[in-house]
Amino acid sequence: MSDGSGCREPTETAAQISDDGVFVVGTDTGVGKTVVTAGLTGWLRERETEAVAVKPCQTGYPPDDDAAFVESICGTPEAAVCLKRLSPPLAPEVAARESETDVTLSYESIRDAVIDTVETSETAVIEGIGGLHVPLADGREVVDLVTDVGLPALVVARSGLGTLNHTGLTARALRRRGVPVVGVVLNEYEGATTAERTNPAVIERMTDAPVWTVPPLDTESSAGVIDGISERLPASVLDPAIER
């Protein structure tokens, strides 16, 4: 069933976040993965699930610190962890090579640390780095990490013109690796253009996945982020026992 934006109402979904967690992937950098990650983590914690957001590798640090943002939204340092921080605002593999300090970045160490965090946490919300084909380390890409961690993926994409190709390719790349797609979040949706208004229904047909729109949120407010995500995504995404 569609709402006014052409996407499914938040009572329908085809897949759920697993008990172990979810991997929040983006179609690109700057599409809103961190806001969605913070909102999901806070929403889970409000439901008395000790969720932990995991940033495998942060580049552009400082000032970029996605884990710190999640901590501030959730109100506790226990809500997030960053496994590696690099200064250059580049893809991790490139940032390690271009760093002024001697940095060793190993794909195996990143993968193992993420998997260990998933196994020792009640629920983990893993945030990707840029898009799926961003170089991570040792010739491996973000999509390799998503595949190896083995969690379902939630795709975050832009709402406006140009998002169809990126979103369709992202969903296809995930499924080719056997990664279940929970759904697609079109971030900062305002419905101001024809592209925005028609994209949800088109992406739903292209990806055969639920599409949810999230308007611009007050990212200075914990309630603004957590409520903004929980009000736009169906509760059944977190708990399949909830009636759709």
SS3 content of the chain, % helix, strand, coil (to 5): 40, 20, 40
CA distance 68 to 64: 9
Annotated binding site for Mg(2+): 34, 66, 127
Rg (CA), the chain: 17
Report DSSP letters for 118-182, one per residue: HHHSSEEEEE--SSTT-EEETTEEHHHHHHHHT--EEEEEESSTTHHHHHHHHHHHHHHTT--EE
Q: Which residues pair with 211 in a beta bridge?
A: 184
Q: And the tokens for 82?
A: 């960053």
151 in helix, strand or coil? coil
- From the candidates 8, 55, 140, 166, give the one annotated as an active-site residue: 55
Around Cβ 234, how many Cβ atoms within 10 Å? 20
Convert 167-188 into a string of H (helix), E (strand) and C (coil): HHHHHHHHHHCCCCEEEEEEEC
Please indicate whether residue 84 is annotated as part of the active site.
no
Backbone angles phi and psi of 61, in degrees to 5: -100, 135
The DSSP letter of residue 128 is -
Contact 134, 142 (CB under 8 A): yes
Task: Mark the binding-site residues for ATP, compressed into ranges.
Answer: 30-35, 66, 127-130, 187-188, 215-217
Numbered residues of the known binding site for substrate? 59
Q: Catalogue the active-site residues.
A: 55
